[in-house]
Amino acid sequence: MRDLIRQYLLYTRSQRWAVLLLVALILVVLGGTRAYHYYIHHQPVAADSALQREVAEAMIAPTEKMADTDEAAAPDEEVADISKNEKGLFYFDPNTIGIADWLRLGLSEKQANGIERYKAKGGTFRAAADLNRLYSLTDSDKARLIPYVRITAAGVQQREATTRQHQTPIEINTADSAAWESLWGIGPVLSVRIIRYREALGGFYSVDQVAEVRGISDTVYAAIRPRLTVNVTLIHKLSLNTSDYETLRRHPYIHARIAKGITGYRERQGDFQRIEQLKELNTVTPEMYDRLVPYLGL
C-alpha cells in the first residue's frame, strides 16, 4: 500500500489529472446508463396513444376469453351433462318423439319404424325400462338410451289419447283427408292420392287396395291396416252395355285393349247378358276378371 501511494506521489501533476479525469468519465458512463434505463421505464405514456390502447387490448383480451370460456362452460346442469356424453344423445320422452328423433339418437330407419309401429298399435311408455320391450333394439342400444329417457305425465296422456284416436276404425270409401291423415305415416300428399285413386276406381272393395296407392310403403300399410274397414255397397259400378270407350279406359283396372274389347264385343254380339261373358274376351285374364267384377254391372 505504501508503495502504491509512493508511486502515485511520484506521478507528475499532469499525469495525476489525467487519471482523475479517466475515473470521472467511467463514473459518468456508468451513472448515465442507469439513469437512461430508469427514465425509459418510468416515462408516462399519453392516455390516448396507440401504444397504450394496444397494450390495454393485449391485457384485456385474455381476460375476456377466459370469461367467455367460463360462461360457455357453465350452462344448465342438464345441458352440461349432455355435453359430456356420446354424440347424438339427448334427453327424450319416447311417447312424444317421432322417427326423425329416433334417427338422431343413432337408430336405423328400420328400428325407428319398428318403434313407431309399436306405438301405433297402442304401445305406451310409462317407465324408462319399458324400452326393454322393444325387440327392434339391441342390448347395447337399450343400455345407451335408457339413461336418457325422461317420461312425462303429459307425454303418457298424449300417447293414450293418440292410441284411443288410432283405435277408431276408418271406413275407406267415405273417409276424408282429415281421417286419412290421422293414420300413422299418412300425410296430406298421401291422403289426396288415396282419395283420387278411390274416385278413379269407383270405391274400394278391399282394404288391401289401399296398399296399391303410390307412395304407401309396406311398413306404413302394415301399421294402418288394423284400422281400415270397407263398405262394398258404396262402390260405383260401370255398365258393360252403356259405358263408352273413354269412360272404360279411364278406370285403373281397364287398359286400352280391354276397353276396346268390350266395345267391340257389343258391336259384334250386342249387349252383355251376363257379367261372366267378359271372360270370352281374349284380353281378359282370370286375374283381371276377378279384379274387374266388383266394378262392373249391366
pLDDT digits (tens, 9 = 90+) for 84-117: 345 578 999 998 888 999 999 999 999 998 888 8
pLDDT at 24: 78
Whether 188 and 81 have beta carbons less than 8 Å apart is answered as no
Rounded to an integer, the average pLDDT of 179-183 is: 87
Rounded to an integer, the average pLDDT of 7-32 is: 70
Percent of the chain exceeding pLDDT 90 equals 39
Burial (CB < 10 A; 0-12, 13-18, 19+), residue 172, is buried
User: 108 and 157: one domain?
Assistant: yes
pLDDT at 159: 76
The answer to whether residue 271 is domain-embedded is: yes
User: 162 and 192: one domain?
Assistant: no
Q: What's the CATH number where 179 sits? A: 1.10.150.320
- Look at the chain and report how many structural domains it folds into: 4
Whether 289 and 279 have beta carbons less than 8 Å apart is answered as yes
User: 248 and 273: one domain?
Assistant: yes
The answer to whether residue 76 is domain-embedded is: no
The answer to whether residue 41 is domain-embedded is: no
The answer to whether residue 250 is domain-embedded is: yes
pLDDT at 30: 76
User: 260 and 206: one domain?
Assistant: no
Domain that holds residue 147: 99-166
pLDDT at 184: 80
The answer to whether residue 47 is domain-embedded is: no
Choose among 137, 83, 85: nearest CA to 108: 137
Instruction: Between 27 and 279, name the one with better pLDDT.
Output: 279
The answer to whether residue 46 is domain-embedded is: no
Rounded to an integer, the average pLDDT of 48-70 is: 43
The answer to whether residue 43 is domain-embedded is: no
Whether 184 and 227 have beta carbons less than 8 Å apart is answered as no
